[in-house]
């Protein structure tokens, strides 16, 4: 990018979106010259180098979008001085280091997107001060460790996208306080422990994505009462016990429900017609899954001594008939 004169300008909006000819670093003189700027969009270009501390001079800035570039280095702590910022998008860059604590000074921030970088460390405690935050995306980074307790104070948060991070921890039990949450995506992040029962209080939740973690225990019964859910993926975990969803829930979510890859999960025999679609088998009287990890049941013998192989679909039908007849198995 060419250097600019440092004479202050009254320009309020500058946008160079989708410009592959825009290469090189952002000259710090640009930040010094455009102190009246409210909207700066330099996304989807070939800009590289660091975000310099002089960005703090843009103290009138409301929206900053530097996404889809080749920016590197840390997020400058001086970013916290942009107190009027409502939208901040630094996604799809090469940024490194931790998310700065000064991010908590952006009290008017509604959108924070730092996804698809190489950020590390933990989510800063100061994130809980972002009382206006509606959307937060930190996915596809190297962030790890426990989520800050202050996260529960983000009462206006509707979208929390944090999949593909090596978190290696358990979830906060206070998630239920985020009553406006609509989408929660925490897949592929090595979470462990039980799914918090407080998830049952997320009345506005439409999407729950927890696949490919190490969650154990039962699915909280109250999740079945979340009437707005239309997409739920709990596959590839270590969940166990009987699935708590009734027939109406299963029909409403339909193919958008994935419970496969949980070898100890099973379905009530009265709902056996659903088991093939969900990737699970039916429960026996002890609420244990019938069948092995390859979803095949041990072969049965007829009176003539012939061996009959029964797979999941056939087994589901058998239990459905037995249940309808009131017979025990």
> Comparing C-alpha atoms, which of 115, 114, 105 is closest to residue 81?
105
- Nearby residues of 184 by Cβ (< 8 Å), 6 or more positions away: 160, 175, 202, 205, 207, 208, 209
Confidence bin at 150 (pLDDT 50/70/90): very high
- pLDDT at position 247: 86
pLDDT of 322 higher than 90: no
Nearest Cα neighbor of 45 from 73, 25, 74 is 25
CB 118 within 8 A of CB 93: no
pLDDT for residue 19: 80
Which two structure tokens, joined as six digits, stand for 114?
């730092």
Rg (alpha carbons) of the chain, rounded to whole number: 25
Write down the CATH superfamily of domain 13-286.
Ribonuclease Inhibitor (3.80.10.10)
Give the model confidence (pLDDT) of 242-265 as tens digits.
999 988 898 899 899 999 999 999
- Smallest Cα–Cα separation from 196: which of 212, 177, 183? 177
Tokens for 67, please give them. 């996404």
Note the pLDDT tens digit of each residue in 88-100: 999 999 999 999 9
pLDDT at 18: 81
Q: What is the pLDDT of residue 84?
A: 97
The answer to whether residues 175 and 149 touch, using CB atoms and an 8 Å cutoff, is no
Arithmetic mean of pLDDT over the chain: 86
- Cα dihedral across residues 179, 267, 211, 145: positive or negative: positive
Residue 57, C-beta contacts closer than 8 angstroms, at least 6 positions apart? 31, 32, 35
Span 44-56, pLDDT tens digits: 999 999 999 999 9
Going through 195-295 in order, the beta strands assigned E by DSSP cover 207-209, 214-217, 231-233, 238-242, 257-258, 264-267, 281-282
Q: Can you read off the two tokens belonging to residue 165?
A: 């991070």
pLDDT in tens, 190-202: 999 999 999 999 9
Question: Residue 123 forms beta bridges with which residues?
Answer: none
CA atoms within 13 A on the CB side of 80: 15
pLDDT digits (tens, 9 = 90+) for 197-228: 999 999 999 999 999 999 999 999 999 999 99
CA distances from 279 to 231, 256, 275, 295 (A): 16, 12, 6, 9
Domain locations in the chain as residue ranges: 13-286
Q: What is the DSSP string of 42-102?
A: --SSEEEE---GGGGG-TT-SEEE--SSEEEEEPPGGGGG-TT--EEE--SSEEEEEPPGG
């Amino acid at each position: 990018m060419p250097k600019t004169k440092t004479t202050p300008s009254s320009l309020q909006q500058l946008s160079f979106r989708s410009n592959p000819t825009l290469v090189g670093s952002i000259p710090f003189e640009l930040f010094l010259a455009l102190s009246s700027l409210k909207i700066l969009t330099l996304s989807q270009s070939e800009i590289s180098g660091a975000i310099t501390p002089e960005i703090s001079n843009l103290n009138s800035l409301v929206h900053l979008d530097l996404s889809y570039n080749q920016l590197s280095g840390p997020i400058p702590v001086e970013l916290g001085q942009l107190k009027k910022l409502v939208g901040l998008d630094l996604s799809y860059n090469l940024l490194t280091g931790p998310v700065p604590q000064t991010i908590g000074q952006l009290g008017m921030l509604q959108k924070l997107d730092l996804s698809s970088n190489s950020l590390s460390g933990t989510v800063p405690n100061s994130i809980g001060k972002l009382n206006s935050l509606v959307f937060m995306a930190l996915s596809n980074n190297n962030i790890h460790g426990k989520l800050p307790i202050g996260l529960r104070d983000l009462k206006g948060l509707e979208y929390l996208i944090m999949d593909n991070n090596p978190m290696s921890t358990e979830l906060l039990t206070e998630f239920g306080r985020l009553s406006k949450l609509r989408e929660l995506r925490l897949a592929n992040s090595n979470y462990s422990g039980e799914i918090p029962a407080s998830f049952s209080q997320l009345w506005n939740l439409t999407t729950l994505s927890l696949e490919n973690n190490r969650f154990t225990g039962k699915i909280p019964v109250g999740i079945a009462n979340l009437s707005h859910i239309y997409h739920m993926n709990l596959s590839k975990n270590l969940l166990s016990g009987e699935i708590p969803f009734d027939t109406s829930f299963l029909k409403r979510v339909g193919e958008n429900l994935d419970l496969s890859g949980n070898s100890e999960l099973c379905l009530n025999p009265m709902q056996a017609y659903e088991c093939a679609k969900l990737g699970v088998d039916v429960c026996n009287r002890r609420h244990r899954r019938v069948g092995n990890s390859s979803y095949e049941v041990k072969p049965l013998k007829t009176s003539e001594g012939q061996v009959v192989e029964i797979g999941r679909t056939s087994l589901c039908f058998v239990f459905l008939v037995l249940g309808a007849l009131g017979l025990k198995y």
